[in-house]
A and B are shown apart, each in its own frame.
Chain A
Amino acid sequence: MNGNDDGFYYLRGIPVPETPLPDQNPQPWQKTEVVGRPLPRVDAYERVSGNAIYPSDIVLPNMLYAAVLRCPHPHAIVGKIDTSAAERMPGVRAVITGSSPEADFSWPYSPEMKTKLFNPHCRFEGEEVAAVAADTIYQAWDAVRAVSVNYNILAFVSDEAKALATDAPSVHAGGNKLKIDRYSRGDVEQGFADADVVLEETYRSECELHTPTESHGCVARWDGDHLSIWQSTQGVYSIQATVAKIMDLPLSKVRVIGHYMGGGFGSKLGADKFTIIAAVLAKITARPVKLFMTREETLIAAGNRPPVSMRLKAGVKRDGTLTTLDFSAVGTGGAYPAGGTSLVDWLIRDLYLCPNVRTETTDVYVNAGPARAFRAPGHPQCSWALEQMLDALAERIGMDPLDLRLKNIPSYSQARPGNPPYVSTGLRECITEGAKVFGWHEARKKTAEPTAGSHIRRGVGMASALWIGGGGGPPSTIVVKLFSDGSVSLNMGASDIGTGTKTVMAMVVSEELGVKPDVIQIENADTGTTQYATPSGGSKTVPTESPAVRAAAIHVKQQLLALAAVDLKTDESSLTLIGDAVVSQADPERQIRIRDISGLKKRGLIIGVGYRGPNPEGKVINPFAAQFCEVEVNTLTGEVKVIRFLGAHDSGRVMDRLTFDNQVFGGITMGIGLGLTEARILDRNQTGKMVNRNWHDYKIPTAMDVPANIISLPIETDNREANTTGTKGLGEPVTIPTAGAIANAVYNAVGVRITGTPINPLQLCSALALLRKEE
């Protein structure tokens, strides 16, 4: 097709930004042409047609299927294992256990704590004991069931509160206390003395499970000594590093591919034990091996958001000035060091202006599956406590909860040394603009009116938030290729975990080069063919990758202009790219079409390389948020129905309005799960086994549990100082304030505070009955 005439390749006539000289930083974008628009995903076609091959879809010639035998007890020593029956079964090609020499690898649960791959001392239900590869997945499981194991069953502890008791069974020699972190500033006692109102409350956030729709797993294949792994992952390079290290292979011999993946939410940031197991089985059998966890396995052994019990005591003056926050928490990341309390006090430390703050968090071991980073680690738990407390304080001093928050908005990070300022904080606008669009004041007035007769009550609530990360930063390397006809290929290591990374980056290329996003070829998430990238997590992918993409595109432009300058016999600094031609600004008659540039024709290709530069020193880049919701509570049954939601989010520049809004909807949906339906339940008094290990008993929200009315309200702050695209992260802040906002709305509706997640009829019905009795 002729790109020049019908505009196939180029958005004709649409200006692209100035090209900075090679040693210059690009100017911030002014008015953008592509960035910011609601653009359907560039890979939507593959995803809705079934053409996208996810790792779990892969079927290689001659491939075997593997299954893992997992310890059925929360705490046991593995004794004799008899695999002979399994080995004799039809279709079985390999059985490995802790005594198989081929499987003699160590596994780093944390940098300090390594165990064997098949750990003879199983500390949680689901720890790996043996594995099988067979011709069909059915045969693999037949064989797993035929392996007989002698377990020496040990006493267990499931409850983080009980883990610290002196007579509690020890998960590890040395006791169950993993660590205590303390933080303080100011003088908390003085803070209480200064306060007009002091409140204290305990809160609990239950263990939440990631449960991405595609389960965790991989396909492994050896070509001689070269290992290829297709894994459902958020970061191919992190898997490569771990596998190479554990198996003592050069990085160049480990290729990890993860073009598509079906959700991770933090549970797929790195390699898994199954990656190594699949590689070992593939080596032994000299055949490709597919190993995916069953849904049940993912629920017991693929990470979780740590449960935490919190206590918060807070003081406030009548005018709404917070005087003090005193917080303590006990949480658990399960049986191995896994950040059971990490960041669980961050919002206490940093969200609201408060001179006197003290936190103490205790991370303990219990006999349960290890935690993994889960969408905004620590934050939703902390928000659950803090935001409910703020509402309670506001009520006591007779202030609108919104005004109390507005009274205490910081412009700098109080918790970081030196109190560095934020590059931008849209917190105030998130609250005020959000309230306006939501109709907060009208809604509050309405819910305050008496509802005679009806047992259905309405309530509205809000909560605000920040996310500790979201600034992104180096490293990132991007390659953009310009072909001789002016069409473009983008090559990056980052995974698109459903957030629209590919689309956003294509828009950046499009903005800089004028090429239509849908004709950009994108190569990503493959250690064999794409650049180094850190895993997609921490809400940093857009602010990390997009400036590097921009730099790579600019690098292409610079070279293009230089080549054109030769043909046009002029100085490249006077040239500019317009449509598919390079044009002299001084003399617009002097121009050359890209496809005619002789230097490009000769080379066939221009390669632009972009690197992510550093973030500004002494400044903090955090996204901010406020969410508002309206609920309906059935006072006879304790059912809560979420009627509507609004998420006002300051994440800097909106790149793609469609994927931006979608993140907001998704974060709120997940927050509804934390707030209303989800909790892992362990048989704590008898066996320590997880009882709700399926998607029926572990209840994530369905289409009936979310409101159809969710408004996404972007608050675009000026972040040109942060990076060259002016972006901050979004994926995590969207789920932080949700559960707290719901709890506040429920309180507003019925005057009952539910301090432990989830607010389901089980809890609320009894609380409402108690309230009726009191009345």
Chain B
Amino acid sequence: MSEDRDEKGCGGRGEECGRGMTRRNFLASLGVGAIAIAASGNPAAEKEASAAVIKSGEALEINLQINGHAHRLLVEPRWSLLHVLREELGFTGTKEGCERGECGACTVLIDNIPRYACMTLAVEAEGKEITTLEGLMHGEKLGAVQQAFVEHDALQCGYCTPGQIMAVEGLLRKKPDPSLDEIRTGVSGNLCRCGAYVNIFKAAKKAGQLKRGGVL
């Protein structure tokens, strides 16, 4: 068997190549009001404010509320929150394992709820409170979940760990005293190829105790 075929790229189906980001005219496409309102973090107001149309290849200035601080930056429509956190803003506590919602390494809290930053467009995160691993620190001091992970050796290579910690943090914010089953379900969206699950369960339990005892 032998046949000749012309193909584009790995995908095989070539498509129109976009014009690339121009980083201009963004003001034109940007609801100026959107920024102000997003910065005030009022989700109810968000609806009226955002009528944005961002053309492919253009960038929009958005305001992201990350760990209690506002970050103003230009994003392309296609940029994921994960990309923005890691490559644009340097929040490398959020890891990248798959970029397709299949590993949990990128877990962050959005309005206190665990979500995958890779499956969230940066533009969709505007006006929401984003918490990353860095946001669990108290200055140089580890947060309760982080402390429990250390104590119970709930990690090996450590690469899935930030995501696991965020998943446990999200779980405990909703359910301060989870059962073993609830813990397992709570981290069932976070793969650990090193297989530290058993210790992660223990750490989650311990973190709950710490938090209930007043450790944040």
Contacts and interface: CB of A to CB of B under 8 A. Distances in A.
Interface residues of A, number: 82
B42 interface: no
Interface string B94-116: 01111110110100000000000
A499 B151 contact: no
A666 B196 contact: yes
Contacts of A145: 8-11, 14-15, 17
Contact of B153 (A41, A152, A261, A262): A41
A45 B11 CA distance: 41
A261 B193 CA distance: 13
B14 A138 contact: no
B90 to A, nearest CB: 6
B191 A90 contact: no
Contacts of B79: 138
A45 B193 CA distance: 20
Contacts of B48: none
A149 interface: yes
Interface in A213-237: 213-215
B166 to A, nearest CB: 11
A57 B92 contact: yes
A261 B157 contact: yes
A668 B195 CA distance: 8
B142 A48 contact: yes
Interface stretch (A19-27, A104-112, A457-465, A699-707): A699-707
A574 interface: no
Interface in A759-775: none
Contacts of A57: 86, 92, 95
A582 to B, nearest CB: 34
Nearest to B189: A702
Interface in A366-412: none
A284 interface: no
B159 A213 contact: yes
B161 A47 contact: yes
B199 A665 contact: yes
A537 to B, nearest CB: 14
B216 to A, nearest CB: 15
A89 interface: yes
A708 B9 contact: no
A708 B180 contact: yes
B41 to A, nearest CB: 23
A154 B2 contact: yes
Given A47-B161, A262-B157, 9 more contacts: A44-B153, A89-B17, A144-B9, A147-B9, A155-B2, A498-B156, A659-B153, A666-B196, A669-B198
Interface of A: 38, 40-41, 44-45, 47-50, 52-54, 56-57, 59, 69-70, 72, 79, 85, 89-91, 136-139, 142-155, 169, 210-215, 260-263, 265, 294-295, 497-500, 658-659, 661-663, 665-670, 694-696, 700-704, 706-708, 710
| The 9 residue pairs across chains A and B that have the minimum distance between CB atoms | A90-B20, A50-B93, A262-B159, A669-B195, A498-B157, A498-B156, A666-B195, A47-B158, A145-B9
7 contacts: A47-B155, A72-B11, A145-B8, A151-B5, A700-B193, A702-B188, A703-B192
Interface of B: 1-12, 14-15, 17-21, 76, 78-79, 83, 86-87, 90-93, 95-100, 102-103, 105, 132-134, 137, 142, 146, 149-151, 153, 155-162, 165, 180, 184-185, 187-188, 190-201
